[in-house]
Structure formats: structure tokens, C-alpha cells
């Protein structure tokens, strides 16, 4: 299952002469359709919010409903990744499906990550000492940089192995699962998520 998925507020007194903080940078948003056998079954929205600081937040929201004969699938999936100085500090995933509700969480603890993935037919718990600097959400906002060999898979709590195919095409492989990411002019325009029953096609919608 590829789909699957995050506020902190504080109030500080300001003196009369204090300057208001700069407004947050405008969010970059990408809208996609999700198709199976040529039929639109859902939507996906990717957002990158970059504040005027070293902090960047990525989010990915999917809403899918599929009904083909005996094959029924319903998924609402949300992932939110918080990066600071290029390093992932917190990733949370919420998945609400016709099979139940599931979650994953990856959190930096100062010298390691605590990783817990409790998803449909996937339960994983681990620690990771290497800083995570590239995740699946990053792939929605440009081709992987040269030499990028893997992307953190927030849902699973481990990694996709990346390899470059023909120009503008990348393969992401994990445990027999293969996704193909296609780019045009540096923009992600299509994802093919290969499935034994029917491939899912995620296609960029026009502005």
C-alpha cells in the first residue's frame, strides 16, 4: 500500500517598538489526480512550506476510493515532514482506511531516530543513527539530486532505493515494490505505482 500519512502554537509578548516577524513564505502546492484503469479514483496534494528560516515543512495528503468488482479500497492518507537545516526532525503519518486506522512516526532524539510504523500488514520498529536528509515528499518538488541513492519512506519507516532511468525518469524500489517517477523540466508530472491488480497512476493537474 503506497498511500497511507500532521500544531504547535506559542504566544510571546511584543513591546511597542518590536518588529513583527516576517510573514511565512508562500506555500508551494502541487495537485494530482489518482487514476486506476483510466478512471479517476482520488486526489493527492503535495505542499512545501518554507519559512524564512532553516525550517521547511512538507505535507502530502491523499484521498482514494476504489470499487472494482470484489476489490474495494478506501484510504485517507496524510504525511507531514519537518526539516531543520536540511535534516528531518519529525515525520508523522496518519492512514484512515476501510481496514482500520494506522500511523507511523519518526522522531529525531538528538543522536538517533525512534521509528515506529504501525500500518496495515506492516509493523516495524527501529532506531536510526544517520541523519535523514531526503524523503519521498522531497521528490514532489524536483528531481532527486545527483548521487541520491535512497529516499526515506515515511509510511514504512525505512528506505526506497533510487535509480535513474531514461532522462527524467526515476525508479524507487523497496521489498519488491516499484514506483516510477517521471519529471518534465524538473517538475514531477507522473508517478506509476505498480500493483499486481492494477497500476495506480498519479498525474499532475494543470494549474
pLDDT of residue 24: 52
CB 109 within 8 A of CB 116: no
182: enclosing H helix or E strand? strand 177-184
pLDDT of residue 26: 75
Q: Global pTM?
A: 0.84
For the stretch 112-147, pLDDT in tens is: 999 999 999 999 999 999 999 999 999 999 999 989
CB 125 within 8 A of CB 137: no
> What is the distance between the alpha carbons of residues 63 and 84, in angstroms, rounded to a whole number?
28
Choice between 173 and 68, residue whose per-residue pLDDT is larger? 173
Residue 105, pLDDT above cutoff 60: yes
Residue with grid cell 512550506, as numbered in its chain: 49
**C-alpha of 102 from chain center:** 16
> Cell digits for 148?
541520491
> CA torsion, points 203, 47, 59, 24, in degrees to nearest 10?
180
The residues with which 182 forms a beta bridge, in sequence order, are 169, 190
Q: What angle do CA 109, 132, 94 make, to 5 degrees?
A: 75
Amino acid at each position: 500500500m503506497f498511500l497511507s500519512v500532521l500544531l504547535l502554537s506559542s504566544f510571546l509578548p511584543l513591546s511597542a517598538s518590536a518588529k513583527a516577524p516576517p510573514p511565512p513564505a508562500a506555500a508551494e502546492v502541487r495537485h494530482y489526480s489518482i487514476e486506476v484503469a483510466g478512471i479517476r479514483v482520488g486526489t493527492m496534494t503535495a505542499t512545501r512550506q518554507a519559512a524564512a528560516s532553516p525550517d521547511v515543512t512538507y505535507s502530502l495528503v491523499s484521498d482514494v476510493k476504489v470499487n472494482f468488482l470484489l476489490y474495494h479500497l478506501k484510504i485517507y492518507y496524510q504525511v507531514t515532514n519537518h526539516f531543520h537545516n536540511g535534516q528531518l526532525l519529525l515525520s508523522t503519518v496518519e492512514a484512515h482506511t476501510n481496514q482500520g486506522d494506522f500511523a507511523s512516526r519518526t522522531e529525531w532524539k538528538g543522536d538517533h531516530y525512534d521509528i515506529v510504523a504501525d500500518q496495515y500488514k506492516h509493523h516495524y520498529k527501529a532506531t536510526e543513527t544517520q541523519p535523514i536528509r531526503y524523503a519521498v515528499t522531497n521528490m514532489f518538488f524536483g528531481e532527486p539530486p545527483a548521487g541520491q541513492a535512497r529516499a526515506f519512506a515515511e509510511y514504512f519507516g525505512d528506505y526506497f532505493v533510487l535509480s535513474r532511468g531514461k532522462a527524467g525518469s526515476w525508479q524507487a524500489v523497496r521489498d519488491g515494490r516499484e514506483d516510477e517517477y517521471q519529471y518534465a523540466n524538473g517538475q514531477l508530472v507522473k508517478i506509476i505505482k505498480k500493483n499486481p491488480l492494477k497500476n495506480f497512476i498519479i498525474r499532475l493537474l494543470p494549474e
